[in-house]
Amino acid sequence: GAGVSQSPSNKVTEKGKDVELRCDPISGHTALYWYRQRLGQGLEFLIYFQGNSAPDKSGLPSDRFSAERTGESVSTLTIQRTQQEDSAVYLCASSLVQDRGYGYTFGSGTRLTVV
Amino acid sequence: DAKTTQPPSMDCAEGRAANLPCNHSTISGNEYVYWYRQIHSQGPQYIIHGLKNNETNEMASLIITEDRKSSTLILPHATLRDTAVYYCIADTGRRALTFGSGTRLQVQP
């Protein structure tokens, strides 16, 4: 597609439920990033996929968070047993690896509300 | 990645130049300076980046001091649509970028 697509755009879930967030990167972009942004705060890095290399999971806040990516396509971020502090906008970005830090294209995000 | 320091907020009059400062005194030789901005309710958008030399594109200019310890992003003629949070990042770009708190720029009519 022309841009990074994220779905759903909004998700309201009950505390304790599991949620899956989806990211469709730009075709051909080998790098994919997930960030979290709480209300009024900056972006918090979660996880980074680069081609077939092992993902950089150093930003995942707890073992309730996991992400997968099949090849260079779609990625899903799963949050198990959601808590109220998980409420945030989850942003996905993709880039060509050779573009390094200047080629990030972000999606519009998924706004997650845990009630 | 080197730590960057930015003022939390700035105002600018519409039509005037907006000069956004960034301090990165611990930047290393292989780290670039990247600028992104985030308009309300959208994902961040790349603006410009540089290593040593000043850079200019259709959106902005980037002035990097000779010692590379600080830089300034210049929006030459700010419009209301430039109201956003501006992030300055010093990084090699080989891993995921770290976005700090940024500078909230309010362009006033």
> How many contacts, defined by CB atoms under 8 Å, are there between A and B?
57
Label residue B1 by pLDDT band (50, 70, 90): low
Q: Pull the structure tokens for residue A9.
A: 């755009």
**Residue A1 scores a pLDDT above 90:** no
Any bridge partners for residue A88, and if so which? A112
Contact A100 B46 (CB under 8 A): no
Whether a cis peptide bond, with omega within 30° of 0, leads into A8 is yes
CB-closest option in B42, B49, B100 to A101: B49
CB-closest option in B43, B91, B98 to A91: B43
**Residue A8 scores a pLDDT above 80:** yes
Give the integer Cα–Cα distance in Å for B44 and A105.
8
Contact A104 B99 (CB under 8 A): no
Optimal mutation site among B46, B47, B59, B73, interface A, most CBs of chain A within 10 A: B46
For B22-77, the pLDDT digits (tens) are 999 999 999 999 999 999 889 999 999 999 999 999 999 999 999 999 999 999 99
Contact A59 B93 (CB under 8 A): no
Mean pLDDT score across all residues of chain A: 93
